Structure 1
C-alpha cells in the first residue's frame, strides 16, 4: 500500500464515523422520511404524467419529452418549487399559445399549489406569473393564426390554473404556521408556568430566610448581650468570666454564620454572579469581537467616563441585555452581523442589539430555545423601571431596552400591556391568525378582482372589434365585382365579423369562390351582414345577408 493511499482510507472511515454514531432511532427516522419523500414524489409524478398516454391532443414528441421533465420537476419542487412550476407552464406554451391544455394543466395546478405551500417570498412567484402573461402576449401578437383572444385564454388559465392554486398553497402554509404558533404558545405557557412556580418557591425561601434572620439573629444577639453582662458582672470569678467570654464569642460567630447562610438563600442566582467583575458593555463587545464574531458598537453619550457614572442597576441591566442578545445571535444565527447600540439621554439609556441572517442563509430563529432568556431580560429591565421589547422578522431580530437613569421603583407584579392587555405570546398567536385570515381573503378576492379586470378587458376588446368590423355602406357600394383583391383589402375594416370561424346561420358560399369575408353593418347588430367573396385574386361576389337565428 502506498503512503498516499493510507490517509485517504482513514479519511473515508472517519467521514462515516458520525453517521455510525447516530442513534438507531434517528437513523430509522431519517430512512423512513426519505422513503416517504420518494413515495410522495412518485405519486406526484404519476398524477402529472397520467394524461400523457391517455390524451392525444398534443404532439407525440412533446408528450414523450414531457415524461422525464415532469419526473425531474416532482423532486425539484422541494428545493426549487418555482423552477418546477415553470416546467408545465413552458410545456403548455409549446403546445398552444393559449396555455390551456388538458395534458399539462393538472401538472401546472399541482406544482403551483406546492409553490405557494413551500415558498415564503411571494414576489418571485408573482413576477413569474406576470412574465408568463407577457410571453403569452408576445406569442399571440407574433405567431401566425394567433390573436388577442388566445392571450385572454392564457391569462384566464394563468389565473385559475396557477395563481389560484398558488394562493391556496400559501393559505395552507399560513394555516400550518398558525398551528405551529399555537403549539409554541402552549409550550411557552407551560414553561412560564414552571418559571412562576419556581419563582414562587424562591420567594417563599427568601421569606423564610428573612424570618430566620430576624428571629434567630435577635435571640443570638440577646444571648451575646447577656454573656457580655455576665462577663463584667462583679462577684464573678475568672473561670466564669472566661466561660462568659467564650459564650459571647460563640454567639457572635453564630450570628455571622447565620447572616452568611441567609445571604446565600436570598441570593438572586440569575443576577450579577455571571458578570465578569466590573466588565462593561464596551468591554463585552471588545471581548466578543476578539473571539471572531462580527460585532459593532455604536455609542452616543456613553463613553468610558460616562459609563462609569451610570447607576449600578442600570449598568448591570444593560450588560445583561447585551450579553443575552449576543449569546442568542451567535447560537441561533451563527455568522450574522451584530450591531450593539447605546444611546444615553438626559433621562434614560437606550440599548439595542440587532442581528441579521447567518452564514447558513436561514432567517434568525431566536425563539427556538427555551425562551427563558428573553423572559428573564424582560423581568430584569422591568425591575430597573424600564421597558423591554424583542422583535423578529424574516431577515432580522432586534432587542430593544429603555432603562431610566433616575431611580424608579419597579412594580412587584408585571404590568399588563396598556393597549391590548395581552401577553406577548397571545399577540404572536393573534398575528398568526391575522395572517391566515389575510391569506384566505387573498385567495378569494385576488382571483375575483383579476377575473373582473379580465372581463372588463375582454368586454372592451369585444366592443373595439365590433366597432372595427363595421363596413360603411358607402364603402360597400363603391366596391365593384371584378376589382382586384389588392385594391379591395386596404378599404376593408381591420377585423372581420368572426375571424375564428364561419358565422353560424350564414347561407352557403357562392360557387367558384375560394374565400368569403363577413363584416358588420352596425356596431351592435349581428344581422344583416356584408359578405365579400373572392376568387383568383379578385372580388367575385358581394351581397347583404341575414343570419338564420334559428340555426344560430
Structure 2
C-alpha cells in the first residue's frame, strides 16, 4: 500500500535534495551580506554587484554537477573569490570554497587534478596581486593562507572522510567474504563426501560388472543351452539391470542440489556465449586480436568459458545497460581473457538476476586448478575480470592464493592514517613555509627601506620629485603604506612617504612630502604612540 508520505520521503532522500540544501547553505553568506552597491568596484576592477549576481547561478550549477564533476564545482567559488579580490579571502565565497573543496576530497580519489587547481589558483592570485595597484606582500600571504585553509585543508579532510568510509566498507566486505568462505568450506566438505560415496558406488558397480563378465564367460564355454544356461542368462540380464541402476544413482549423487541439467552442450564456445548475450539485449562486443592459435586444452578452454559466463552475469546484475567488452588473446604460450564493463548509465536500474555471491570464488579455484591466475577489480569507474591460463596440456595447478583479508584491512587502515597525517602536517608545513617566506621578505624590505642619513641631508626642499626618487630606497618604511600612528600630513601636500632610519625600527622615521611634483616638507617623525 502506497502512503501519501512516500513521495515526500523519496524527495527528502533524493541526492538532488541534498545538493539543493548545500546550495542554500553556501548562499547564506552571500544573501546575508550588506547592501550590494551597484557602482562599487572591487580590487580587480569588476563591480561587486555583478560578481554577486553571477555567483547565484554559478554556485547552483556547481552544486548540481558536484557529484559528476567535483573538481569543476570546487573551481567555481575559487574563481569567484579571485574575481572579488586577488587575496581570495572574501566573506561572500570563502564558505563555498570550504564546502565544495571538502566535497571534492569526499567524492573524488584523484590527487593530480585538485593539486593543479590549487596551484593554478595560487599562480593566478599572485599574478593579479602583481598587477593590481596597491597590492602588497601581506596580500600574498593572505592569498596563500586562504588557499591553504579554505581549499587544501578541507580537501584533505574530505579525502580522510572518503578513506574512512572506504575502510568501513572494506571491513564489511571482508566480513562478508569470510562468511561466504565459511559456507564454501561447508559446501566443499559435502562435495568431498559425495565424492567418497561416488567412489564406493563405483567400486560396487565394478563388482557387478565383474559378475556379469563371469557369467558371460560361463555361457561361452557351455556346450549347449539348457535350463541352467537359461538361468544364467536371466541372472546376466538382472546383473546388467542392477549395474545400470547403479550408474543412474552415481549421476544423481554427483549433481548439486537443485541443479538443473545443462542447457547448452559441454563444447559450447565463447563466441556463441557472447552472441547469445548480445541477442538478449546486452551491449557486448568480442575482440580477438592476433592469431587464435591451436585449440586450448579442455581444462583451460572450460575455465575461460566460465570466466566469460560469470563476468557477463555479474555485469548484467551490477551494471545493467553498461557496455561490455570481451577480449581474447594468445601470447607467449598463454591464453588471456578480459571482460570489462563501463559504469552503468544514469537513470533507473532495470531488474537483474540475483546470484549467490560465490561466482568469483569458484572461478578463482577453477582457474587455479587449470594452472592460471584470476584478477577481478574496479577499473576506470567500471569493473574488469581477467584470467590468464597456460595453453600447454597438463599444466600444474597454481598454488592456492594467500589469505589476504587481514593484510587488505591493514592496508586500508594505513591509508586512513596517512590521510589523517596529511590533513595535519600539510597545513602546518604550509603555514610555516608561508611564515618563513613572509618573515624573510620582511627582513629584506626592512633593509631596503632604510634611508641613509647623509642622503637624507642632501635632499633639499624644492627639488623635483623625479630627482628625489633617484636617491630613495626601493621600499617605504611600512610596506609602502602609511604607518598607523604617523602624524597627519602637512596641509596642502599631495603625498607623503615614510622611510626607516634603522632596519629594525619604524620609530622614528623620515617623512618626505611632495606638493605639485616637488619636495615640500621633510623631517623625522614618531610613528609609535
TM over 0.5: yes
- 1:207 deviates by 1.3
Deviations 1:303-328 (A, max 9, x none): 2xx22xx5432333344344444555
- 1:52 deviates by 4.3
Q: Closer, same or farther in 2 for the Cα pair 1:298/1:230, shift >3 Å?
A: closer
> 1:128 is matched with which residue?
117
- 1:484 deviates by 1.6
| Residues 1:540 and 2:520 aligned together | yes
- 1:152 deviates by 2.2
| Residues 1:387 and 2:387 aligned together | no
> 1:89 is matched with which residue?
78
**Whole-angstrom distance in 2 between the partners of 1:234 and 1:98:** 115
> 2:388 is matched with which residue?
401
Q: Closer, same or farther in 2 for the Cα pair 1:388/1:91, shift >3 Å?
A: closer
Q: State whether residues 470 and 519 of structure 1, in contact with CA within 8 Å, keep that contact through their aligned partners in structure 2.
A: yes
**Whole-angstrom distance in 1 between the partners of 2:19 and 2:376:** 40
Q: State whether residues 140 and 151 of structure 1, in contact with CA within 8 Å, keep that contact through their aligned partners in structure 2.
A: yes
* Aligned residue among 107, 117, 125 for 2:96: 107
Counterparts in 2 of 1:322-337, with a 5 A limit? Answer: 322-325=308-311, 328=314, 334-337=322-325
> 1:138 is matched with which residue?
127
- 1:503 deviates by 2.4
> 1:174 is matched with which residue?
163
Q: State whether residues 386 and 404 of structure 1, in contact with CA within 8 Å, keep that contact through their aligned partners in structure 2.
A: no
**Whole-angstrom distance in 2 between the partners of 1:231 and 1:358:** 72
| Residues 1:357 and 2:342 aligned together | yes
- 1:342 deviates by 1.7
Q: Closer, same or farther in 2 for the Cα pair 1:523/1:369, shift >3 Å?
A: farther
Unaligned 5+ segments in structure 2 are 39-47, 348-353
- 1:35 deviates by 1.8
| Residues 1:208 and 2:168 aligned together | no
| Residues 1:254 and 2:245 aligned together | no
Unaligned 5+ segments in structure 1 are 1-22, 363-367
Q: State whether residues 387 and 403 of structure 1, in contact with CA within 8 Å, keep that contact through their aligned partners in structure 2.
A: no
Q: Closer, same or farther in 2 for the Cα pair 1:281/1:231, shift >3 Å?
A: closer
Deviations 1:118-154 (A, max 9, x none): 2343333333322322332232122222234323212
Deviations 1:457-501 (A, max 9, x none): 323332332233233344323321111223222332222111464
- 1:399 deviates by 1.0
**Whole-angstrom distance in 2 between the partners of 1:524 and 1:547:** 14
- 1:254 deviates by 1.2
**Whole-angstrom distance in 1 between the partners of 2:173 and 2:448:** 63
* Aligned residue among 224, 232, 243 for 2:231: 243
**Whole-angstrom distance in 2 between the partners of 1:374 and 1:515:** 80
> 2:350 is matched with which residue?
none
Could you tell me the TM-score, scaled by structure 1's length?
0.77
> 2:400 is matched with which residue?
415
Q: State whether residues 533 and 540 of structure 1, in contact with CA within 8 Å, keep that contact through their aligned partners in structure 2.
A: yes
Number of residue equivalences: 505
Q: Secondary structure at the match of 2:338?
A: strand
> 1:35 is matched with which residue?
12
Give the structure with the higher percent helix.
1
Deviations 1:369-406 (A, max 9, x none): 75422222211122223333334333562513233725
Farther off after superposition, 321-330 or 230-239? 230-239
**Whole-angstrom distance in 1 between the partners of 2:186 and 2:309:** 26
Q: Closer, same or farther in 2 for the Cα pair 1:319/1:154, shift >3 Å?
A: same
Q: State whether residues 498 and 511 of structure 2, in contact with CA within 8 Å, keep that contact through their aligned partners in structure 1.
A: yes
* Aligned residue among 327, 333, 336 for 1:339: 327
> 2:434 is matched with which residue?
454
**Whole-angstrom distance in 2 between the partners of 1:136 and 1:273:** 69
Q: Closer, same or farther in 2 for the Cα pair 1:500/1:187, shift >3 Å?
A: same
Q: Closer, same or farther in 2 for the Cα pair 1:229/1:76, shift >3 Å?
A: closer
**Whole-angstrom distance in 1 between the partners of 2:67 and 2:377:** 30
Deviations 1:522-547 (A, max 9, x none): 44454443221223332122234455
Q: Secondary structure at the match of 2:289?
A: strand
**Whole-angstrom distance in 1 between the partners of 2:421 and 2:285:** 42
Q: State whether residues 324 and 339 of structure 2, in contact with CA within 8 Å, keep that contact through their aligned partners in structure 1.
A: no
